[in-house]
Amino acid sequence: MNLETPYLIFLGDAKDALAAKTGQGVVDWRPDAVIGQLRLPGCRADLGVADLSIQQATEAGARTFLIGVVNPGGVLPKQWQGVIVEALEAGMDVANGLHTPLDSIPEIAEAARRSDRRLLEARRSVGPFPVASGRKRTGKRLLTVGTDCSVGKKYAALAIERELTTRNITADFRATGQTGILVAGSGIPIDAVVADFAAGAAETLSPDNDPAHWDVVEGQGSLFHPSFAGVSLALLHGTQPDAFVVCHEPTRTTMRNVDVPIAGIDAVIKQTIALGRLTNPAVRCVGIALNTSGLDAERANQTIEQAHRQFGVPVCDPVRHGVEAIVDEMLA
């Protein structure tokens, strides 16, 4: 997928900031590519960039209308269709991270054909993929895992990849979700792969490599989430991680979109090791990444120190503090 920049990020009527995590991720990791945002009435998310109409954005040079919202099931709401048609008719491509294919909606497909613009699908699988073999591969791999979905697995992986590169260690961020793919420009939307082949897709994403090379794989969901545990397990078995980082949001009490208590960090560590040993007996936890955005600086530092004392591994907020200590542990 080759997206033309700059982007106008569409937030629709997102119900909260987490629903706009795709747009936020692009703003945070590719800020130079973003020209502004478009929000519908009732939108409760704000990326902190200019609010622009489609006309204003095209006059400023926008080339891609990027749908920056996620929702349960990845459904494209009917009330967004007219805005997408307007963007196409204004001369922009449309990049989509939802499960609903844009070309499955006749009005949008016709508008793209009429305006000769592209419909770009970040969640359309590019298989076929093989069934996982479990064969040990060369190179090193790190997987970010979570106590829940939307707790910072992508941010932690991107920060770790950047820190490794800064140290002149060869590394690649391996995207497995729509936001990561839109940031990295490549990857496999693991939740769009047929279940029997998901672990095989994860093997394909992290192939044989030089012995000192690190693939830093973006995790998805949680082994404890009733909706997404299958995807999480496929990534764990398929990537065969040598190391993993547990990602957690300490103010959350229930899992996203379900009435289930959030998993504990200790349970995630134990379960990841127990299940991960199927394909890599040496798998180990090298750190904990806390998303402390909901805490003030003092409380964040206290929470990080408490977790470090409890679990005995490096603990940090990748956004606030960086991931130097985690990378030190990876390389130890």
Return the pLDDT at 1. Answer: 62
Return the pLDDT at 108. Answer: 98
Q: How confident is the model at residue 123 (pLDDT cuts 50, 70, 90)?
A: confident
Helix, strand, coil percentages for the chain (3-state, nearest 5): 40, 15, 45
**CA separation for the pair 28, 38 (Å, rounded):** 17
Q: CA triplet 99, 187, 52: central angle to 5 degrees?
A: 60
**CA separation for the pair 235, 244 (Å, rounded):** 12
**CA separation for the pair 190, 154 (Å, rounded):** 14
Span 211-251, pLDDT tens digits: 999 999 999 999 999 999 999 999 999 999 999 999 999 99
Q: What is the pTM for the complete model shown?
A: 0.84
Phi, psi of 279 (to 5 degrees): -115, -10
Sheet holding 243-248, edge to edge: 171-174, 214-217, 140-146, 243-248, 284-290, 315-316
Return the pLDDT at 14. Answer: 94
- pLDDT surpasses 90 at 113: yes
Percent over 90 (pLDDT), the chain: 88
CA atoms within 13 A on the CB side of 142: 31
